[in-house]
Structure 1
Amino acid sequence: MRRKSFTKSALVFLVFAIVFSFRNIVNNQSQFGVMTLVLFLIGGIIYAIPITFVSIEFNSIKKLRNNEAGLGGWCIYSLGEKNGFIASWSSYFANVFFFATLAPFAVISVSFVIMGNNGFDILASQLVAKGISENNATRYSTMLLSLFAILLFWFTTYLSKKGPNWIKHVTNIGGMASLFLGLIFVVVGLCISLPIVYKQVSHSWSWEFFNPLNEHFFKGNTWAFMSALPWVFFAYNGIETIAVFQKDLKGDHKAFKVAAILGNVFTIIIMVLCGLTMSLVIDQDLLQKWGMSNSYYRVFPALLNLDPATSVWGQIILRLTALIFAVNTFGALAFWTVGPAKVFYSENPKQATGKWLSKLDHNGIPTNALNFQFITVVVLLVLVGTTTEGKPGEGTSDFLVTITQATTSLAIVPFLYLFVGYIRIRLKDKVEIEMCFIKNKYVAIGFAVMIIAILGMALFFGVIPSPQSWEENWKSSLISLTLSFLGTVVSMAFAYFMWYWNVDRKQKKFSSTTKGKEKSVSTRT
């Protein structure tokens, strides 16, 4: 019998540890400014909590008691093998795009550790000083960033194939350090910005910045604001995995329900506090000036009112922060390179992806699939690296924003399948669900439909750049559209094609062959 090892408090912290990422706090702060704390609250209510409830209900279905596959297994049960496979594929492919954000972030972190600055932005400025145009200088620097990111991803792919045990230790150390880094920022930031020392509060803390279309961020562009909403939802990704720990909690279903709700509430509060802290302490204009690629490291010296350019302690804090992020990101990259692929190719029908992709080595690692991942990430990094243009100092941020936009949009797709599957389950009266958060099935279905509409709207605006963006820079908009189109439409079409070619086509062929033999036998008779 499975040993129940989790207490309620342990599960609450586990929810927080799975979801919380300081990177996501900075990402959203650089996009939305002060509005981040409001959006984290709204995102938690309309996205994180419903996903947790739906995941727990799926996991409490009696026929799925022994299922620990998560979203893929739930969708197979509710939508059938084909659509379950597609949902699982969309989740897996979103992770492939995620690699393309992790690798360059790790490289930039190493640059800050070594140089105390973003070496790629410095390179672009130096090239401009030598007479090279701004667009070409930026392109050369992002191409170099892409090259280093590709080399790093190749290295982690190589290590993942070998399955070294030490990777989990790097991941654990870096992950915990990054987690506490975020908590330290919240505690210190709130202490500094208390009313007693009001002079420390950023001048940008005003009602003007609560307008999502203010001049500092979206400048009245409603479409651009809507296109960034997937970033808020992405900040809560991973929340659905909490359901698989249901069997490990001491106590009954009610205890798990309480712990899951408390975990969600605690995580949302911390996310909102992070947004509040950064809004109170850090000038929003500074975040815009630094850009997404530099803000991760510069917020900590700025929190203590230290300038890394003139302060030794500022430099130490800057480099230490970068070192923690570098270790954490390398560990995360090593884990995510093999983890999702191993789950996807081992738990989905082998015939769906074909023999070559689903081939496993003696460690259960799909080595050919890792090669496929690597090629896909190379294409993404080369595409963005060779097409990024703009002012020196902004290239690496534009690089990360472009890839992150495509990643966050694609991450919505599997949850559309999840909620559609949930609706189908609640429509069936014969399905035995041990833990229902909303007893009335029509009310539950109504909420699910509303969330599908919200996610669908966010996906639409996230994939297609705004008309104003096309007017300002049609090349950048075209690249964003290409990446998002590649991540959603093309990847999903490829999944459907794989299923048709490897499953439907062969089944039809087998069926027609069987019928032909039966006719031949009956004729002879």
Structure 2
Amino acid sequence: MENFFKAFTKKEDPSIYEDKDSHLVRVLTVKDFLALGVGTIVSTSIFTLPGIVAAQHAGPAAILSFLIAAIVAGLVAFAYAEMAAAMPFAGSAYSWINVVFGEGFGWIAGWALLAEYFIAVAFVASGLSANFRGLLASLGVTFPNAISNPLGTNHGIIDIVAVVVIVLVALLLSRGVSDAARVENVLVVLKVLAIIVFLVVGATAINIHNYVPFIPKFHVNPDGTSFGGWQGIYSGVSMIFLAYIGFDSIAANSAEAKDPQKTMPRGILGSLIIAATLFILVGLVLVGMFKYTNYANNAEPVGWALRQAGHGTIAAIVQAIAVIGMFTALIGMMLAGSRLLYSFGRDRMLPKWLGKLNPNGLPNHALLFLSTIGVIIGAIMPFAFLAQLISAGTLIAFMFVSLGIYALRPREGKDVADPDFKMPWYPVLPAVAFLGALAVFWGLDIEAKVYSLIWFIIGLVIYFLYGKNHSLNQKN
């Protein structure tokens, strides 16, 4: 037992990560990270979630759900910013926790994040496919069911559009992060402009009476979830938090950041502030345009609201740009996921093939593996029941990182860099961030907690059967 605990808590020397990751090219700037963060956070969810949360849980007070979720995410983002500035290593939470708490805890945090990236790649690709096919259908072009849906769903065999978009993004990323960043920057600007157009046009159709009552009376929905009151707002927080977790994808690429001391905090915090502001404004305008009950079971509330307000052409333009803009989230998730898999291979926690770089210093083996898994999940397997695993896995990593500040702070300026940015109000704020993430996790559906437990057990089995026995850290 003593040997097990010693192996599980053996910390990685941060200088080893500095040396291993030095082969990755540092080319990403603050502008690139802002685009990467906003592009990942402000995915298709900004066009759907405000209406869903309002109709199912909080009414007009959905705006408070967005705000509270943003505050919790912001607290965790402070911890992420300090960690990324002090230890700009590939793999984000996995590598950081490996250094401050030990290999076993690092593996748990990284394994939890891996669920996010695998499933998020599949979900974004599937969502992009559905929206793209929806646009074509409005023009009279339809796909056969066999190539429109995952295996076993509505007579489907494979979602061919999801396969194509994953392959296209993988090919783009395989050329290097500079090319990907340029494409990301352009697409993010387009997407933000589309959101601004909606806000300006939608604001002209706001009816102040739609905000009353701001917090509807509490009752229990037929499915057992809460609506109205603070209980409904809390349920909305857990649902909407899924949209904000994308900022951790920035941290996974910190080994490729120019001047990470300044770049990482500005990219992480800046992108979250921009994205949260856009979410809150979209929710405010959407609920103001029509009573929140109109958005029940509405798959495209933004487009519907614009059309009902007499702006059909603008609705079509906004939705078309939204589909194009979904590529930004796919780029962000695949970029971050491949860097996490690379870091597992780098440390031999998974086969070393994943940790190999090509002659241009790119982890394309890890990218190929991630793309393959994304295609299998998103194009062939029905996966709707796994949706909340994305939130659950990431929240576990968030809790580790928040507590990790307590282990990091005494080592700054010694064996790790003394970062220019530090989490304010230490030692209080890291505990508040941990409790906030725990509260959001507690609000997830029971299925999400069960699935995260199953994923956790699978991860421990892999660690004890493979990772611990092959780990370079254990051999040092």
The reply to whether residue 174 of structure 1 matches residue 187 of structure 2 is yes
Matched residue SS, 1:290: coil
Structure with more of its chain in helix, by fraction: 1
Please show how residues 310-349 of structure 1 align to structure 2 within 5 Å: 314=312, 316-330=313-327, 332-334=329-331, 336-346=333-343, 349=346
1:205 lines up with 2:211 in the alignment = yes
Give the equivalent residue in structure 2 for 1:300.
Answer: 306
Q: Secondary structure at the match of 2:363?
A: coil
Distance apart, 1:99 and its partner CA:
1.5
Aligned counterparts of 1:368 and 1:209: Cα–Cα separation in 2: 47
Tell me by how many angstroms 1:144 deviates.
3.4
Structure 2 partner of 1:186: 199
- 1:301-343 Cα offsets, whole Å, 9 max, x none, are 33x434xxxxxxx2x4344333222322245435533542145
Amino acid at match of 1:504: K
2:195/2:318 contact within 8 Å kept: no
Match of 2:468 in 1: 504
CA 1:374–1:444: 2 relative to 1, 3 Å: same
Which residue identity does 2:352 align to in structure 1? K
CA distance change for structure 1 residues 344 and 17 in 2, over 3 Å: closer, same or farther? same
Retained in 1: the 8 A contact 2:65–2:240?
yes
Aligned partner of 1:351: which letter? R
Partner of residue 489, structure 1 = 453
Whole-Å separation in 1 of the counterparts to 2:44 and 2:296:
16
Aligned length: 431
In 2: Cα distance, 1:360 partner to 1:20 partner = 28
Aligned to 1:370: 368
Identity %: 14
Secondary structure in 2 matching 1:238: helix
The residue type equivalent to 1:174 in the other structure is L
Unaligned runs of 5+ in 1: 124-136, 307-313, 386-398, 466-480, 512-525
The equivalent residue for 2:46 is 25
Cα 1:232–1:211 shift into 2, 3 Å: farther
2:426 maps to 1:414: no
Corresponding residue for 2:438? 453
- 1:40 matches 2:4: no
Contact 2:39 2:325 in 1 (8 A): no
Tell whether 2:152 aligns with 1:147.
Answer: no
Give 1:447 shift.
Answer: 2.0
Taking the TM superposition and a 5 Å limit, the aligned residue runs for 1:128-147 are 142-144=154-156, 147=159
* Whole-Å separation in 1 of the counterparts to 2:365 and 2:107: 20
State the match for 1:279 in structure 2. 287
When residues 456 and 21 of structure 1 are mapped into structure 2, their CA distance, relative to the original with a 3 A threshold, is closer
Per-residue CA distance 1:99-153 (angstroms, 9 max, x = gap): 2211221112222322228988998xxxxxxxxxxxxx99976453963355335
| Residues 424-443 of structure 1 aligned to structure 2 (within 5 Å) | 424-425=407-408, 435-441=421-427, 443=428
Which structure 2 residues correspond to residues 172-251 of structure 1 after superposition, within 5 A?
172-193=185-206, 198=207, 204-207=210-213, 210-211=216-217, 213=219, 220=226, 229-240=237-248, 247=259
Aligned to 1:494, the other structure's residue is in SS state: helix
Aligned partner letter, 1:156 = L
CA distance in 2, matches of 1:449, 1:166: 36
Q: Which residue of 2 aligns with 1:115?
A: 137
The one-letter amino acid of 1:417's match is F
Distance 2:157 2:302 in 1: 17
Shift of 1:204: 4.2
Aligned equivalents of 1:423, 1:4: Cα separation in 2: 29
Amino acid at match of 1:17: V
The residue aligned with 1:53 is 78
1:446 and 1:118 map into 2 onto residues whose CA distance is: 55
Q: Which of 97, 101, 107 is residue 79 of structure 1 equivalent to?
A: 101
Query: TM-score, normalised to structure 2's length?
Result: 0.71
Q: TM-score, normalised by structure 1?
A: 0.66
Which has the higher Rg, Structure 1 or Structure 2? 1
Tell me which of 103, 117, 140 is aligned to 2:125: 103
Distance 1:238 1:4, change over 3 A: closer
- In structure 2, how many angstroms separate the alpha carbons of the residues matched to 1:430 and 1:168? 32
Closer, same or farther: CA 168–248 of 1 in aligned 2, 3 Å: closer
Match of 2:352 among 343, 351, 355: 355
**TM-aligned CA deviation for residue 352 of structure 1:** 0.9
